[in-house]
A and B are shown apart, each in its own frame.
Chain A
Amino acid sequence: MAQYMTTHGMAAKGVAFSAPEERSIQLRNVTKRFGGVTALNGINIDFAPQKINVLLGLSGSGKSTLLRQINGLHKPTSGEVITLGTDVHTAGAGRLRKLRRNVGMIFQHFHLVESMSVLENVCTGKLGSLGGPRLGLFSYPRAVKEQAMEQLARVGLADKAFQRADALSGGQMQRVAIARALIQEPRVLLADEPVAALDPVSSATVMTLIGNIAKEDNLTVVCSLHQVELALEFSDRIIGLRGGELVMDRESHSLSLKEAHEIYEAVAVVSETELAQETSELAAVHQS
């Protein structure tokens, strides 16, 4: 284990950062519309490097849309998104792919291929830096598979490497997804409600893991959540979104839990439709 950590730590530290903005994410006046729906409205945020930032907001508040601006899965309707020095809006396909290699992403529903082995799932995270398409575990270079094993060891799942992904629990799947993001050796980690589909114990496990890894690898983390307690415990900074607008931006250490709740509730003055949406989403999560 120690051996893996040093090699990995060296890789992360070995990256040279010429200018501070190279490592940060800047959103300038970002607006994103889907047809008539305004998902983000004039958002201005600077994410400082090596910090854990939490996006707090109800469902439909624009968290996922904001995260997808950062790695260019969605492009802004207007405004500017600069991630690690790359202007996402104007970048061509090749430039964007290069950027994405440095930006890991994990998702609420893990997004693993369930019929594939855990190891192969992790290897797919490396595709961005590999030359051509791959089909089957045997088609990856040995070095990639060894890296995948290292990352699985970091998330505590090396012994599950050869199992099918659907044989794992939800918490374990999310840890595999984290390993898949880490094999990229990213500088930024985006997490879209990583624990919304998990029970409280697994949620804490996954959030702790993300926190530890972020420190070890000096990652800039942008993570969306909708639990105030988790946000306060694991973040350096909390950003509140509501209806696509930025409504709160505070350093976490300056907030007490009570204060945070008050602000969040003020932020999230619940309209009836939002409440209905939230309840139905929660019900769906509980069912699955």
Chain B
Amino acid sequence: MTATMERPAQPPRTSVLPPVPKRPVPNPHVVAVWGIMIMLLGGGAWSLWELEVTPANVFGHFDNAARFIERAFPLNWPPLSELLAMTAETLGIVFLATGFSVFVSTPIAIMAAASTTSGRFSWTVSRLVIIFCRAVPDLVFAIILFRLFGLGALTGILAMGISSIGMIGKLYADAIEELDRGPSEAVEAAGGGRWQWILSTVIPQLIPQMIATGLHRYDINLRTSVILGYVGVPGIGYYLSGALETMQWQRGMALALWVLMLCIVVELISMGIRAAIMSPSSGDRSFLGLIKAADRSGWATHEPVRTRSGAVRVSPPWTGARWMRFGGIGILVVLLVASLIASNIRWEQIPRGVERFIPTISEFIPGTQGRFVDYWLPALIETVQMGLAATLLGLVLALPVGAMAARNVAPTPTVALCFRIFIVVNRAIPELILAIVLLVILGFGPVPGVLALAFGTTGLFSKLFADSIEETDVRVQNALRAGGATRIQVFFGSTLRQVAPAMVAHIMYQVDNNVRNSTLLGIVGAGGIGYWLMQTQAQLAYDVLSFLILSVLLIVIVLEAIAVYIRNVIR
């Protein structure tokens, strides 16, 4: 015993190692990740070149910009009643889509969470459903559902609703897995069945997260709904696409500005509600210590409260919290009814769509009409190029922006603040609106699409850079600086290296995201496969449409698989 006490506790296997440590052998997976990163960034550079995203192409259009302003102003606002009606329609459709998704995602997430699943089979099936919904872009759902249900709100609600299951289901399942299992075990130990403990202990713990995620997705769906207007989903996007297609720039820009304002207002409201929900009862939590301290002194018998008739009172008193809860439920019901009215759902489309389901499947048997090499392949490549180019461009732009937004790197606090504000504003602007404006200025083609996506990417990366630079080890930086290194040298020599793992994961995530979004932007005229999705839909060439959808899916799944691999290696 004494002999072992003298030695500090050490795992015994250290003694097996040779005295001189060997040069570490590079982990093949880490090498692979570096290889993938170099390929992605190299691909980005090649894409920028191929798509001709050159300074001349970007800045050589000042005359166009001037002409654009001439054409766009004065803005031509639709009559107020019309504007409000289309806004209500959009908000209603988005509400119903998000509500649908929350409703459907909850049981799916319960199946998909390891702690609540009923077995291996339902776990696998629900995980596959989630992955499928996440991989298929909203637009693809919209195009297919459009064939079933035709023009109208229903197509949009179902398209966004189903697509949102991918994100909401995943986040709910993750949240369930992180919940305290204790209360569930207690109910189980008391003889409660599976659905009993799920509804009595899991759901009550999950509700704040459920609402917060739903609100977050509402923001995203609001932006998506505008794009879906291009394929016939009613609302602001529908009128916006109509105005732009008929070159009514003044009306188009007015609607674009309206969408921008709407997105910002909705995001602010949703952020406020989320912040309030995720920190519940923080008021009495601060008193908790006091309450606990006051209660150390044993226990006394307290009689239950009785009603005037002498019965034990079993309904909670009307406290502020209870009013809030009921008010919240009331508001939800009102919003649901209002959304049902505003979105003008044509219910008779449901049986018609169900009837058409089987015949539609046979229409969607994929085919290329022999134009794969000439048309579809180049378009697919262009879409991927747009995604890669936008990621690289956004990354390069984010280096200085992020550095300037970090308080410990920026020359003065004011500079940091200005760049921080830029990042926040950047993230509020929907990429679609930016793409539309740029398309009008620069003309149709991939360049405006790349710029719009790069803009959003810059915002995301600069925030990541700035946050991690502020968190990284200041001592290392100071040591370097004391050794006479310049700010730039410190940034590349130390800061960037410390941020690297998070960066790698985010680059992959952005490539994935940008490729999806470049598909979407193709619809508004930014080239790539999106354009052909629209065209083939308009020409009723469903065999090609289905082939193109499968191709997009394949690309997205490959990217997703690479992303999962990289995350696993980095972790």
Contact = CB atoms under 8 A, between A and B. Distances in A.
B317 to A, nearest CB: 6
Contact of B292 (A133, A169, A272): A169
Q: For this complex, into which size category does the number of interface residues on chain B fall?
A: 35 or more
B316 A209 contact: no
A113 B183 contact: yes
Contact of B299 (A115, A129, A167, A205): A205
Interface string B436-467: 00000000000000000000000000000000
A201 interface: yes
A152 B319 CA distance: 21
Interface stretch (B187-195, B248-256, B368-376, B557-565): B187-195
Interface stretch (A24-32, A81-89, A99-107, A221-229): A99-107
Interface in A135-170: 135, 137-138, 142, 145-146, 148-150, 152-153, 155-162, 164, 166-170
A100 B292 CA distance: 32
B280 interface: yes
Contacts of A153: 301-304
A133 B198 contact: yes
A73 B188 contact: yes
Contacts of B275: none
Contact of B281 (A107, A110, A166): A166
Interface in A179-230: 180-181, 184, 190, 199, 201-202, 205, 209
A56 B443 CA distance: 80
B6 interface: no
A109 B280 CA distance: 21
A124 B304 contact: no
Contacts of B317: 162
Contact of B189 (A100, A135, A171, A175): A100
Contacts of B304: 149-150, 152-153, 158-159, 161
A170 B303 contact: no
Interface stretch (B58-66, B199-207, B230-238): B199-207
A119 interface: yes
B381 interface: no
Given A111-B185, A166-B281, A201-B296, A146 B312 contact: yes
Given A117-B316, A146-B312, A175-B299, A180 B186 contact: yes
Given A101-B190, A169-B291, A202-B296, A157 B205 contact: no
B299 A177 contact: no
B16 interface: no
Contact of A184 (B190, B284, B311): B190
B299 A156 contact: yes
B288 interface: yes
Contacts of A97: 191-193
A148 B185 CA distance: 20
B191 A167 contact: no
A209 B182 CA distance: 22
Contact of B314 (A98, A100, A145, A180): A145
A118 to B, nearest CB: 10
B192 A124 contact: yes
Contacts of B188: 73, 100
B396 to A, nearest CB: 46
Contact of A98 (B191, B201, B297, B312): B191
Contacts of A41: none
A26 to B, nearest CB: 20
B362 to A, nearest CB: 42
A62 interface: no
A148 B312 CA distance: 11
A105 B189 contact: yes
Contact of B182 (A109, A138, A180): A109
A113 B205 contact: yes
A125 B190 contact: yes
Interface in B200-229: 200-201, 203-205, 207-208
A49 B4 CA distance: 47
A205 B189 contact: no
Given A164-B281, A175-B299, A181 B316 contact: no
Contacts of B189: 71, 73, 100, 103, 105, 190
A205 B298 contact: yes
Interface string B308-335: 0001111111010000000000000000
Most buried by B among A101, A152, A169: A169
A149 B190 contact: no
Given A115-B208, A170-B292, 15 more contacts: A104-B190, A105-B186, A113-B201, A119-B314, A121-B183, A127-B191, A128-B191, A153-B303, A159-B305, A160-B302, A162-B316, A175-B299, A184-B191, A199-B296, A201-B298
Closest 9 CB pairs of A and B: A128-B191, A111-B182, A145-B314, A100-B191, A127-B192, A158-B304, A159-B302, A156-B299, A169-B292
28 contacts: A1-B301, A1-B303, A100-B191, A101-B190, A105-B186, A111-B180, A113-B205, A115-B207, A119-B314, A119-B316, A124-B190, A124-B201, A125-B186, A127-B190, A128-B190, A133-B199, A142-B314, A146-B312, A153-B302, A159-B303, A160-B302, A161-B304, A167-B281, A168-B295, A169-B296, A170-B292, A171-B296, A184-B191
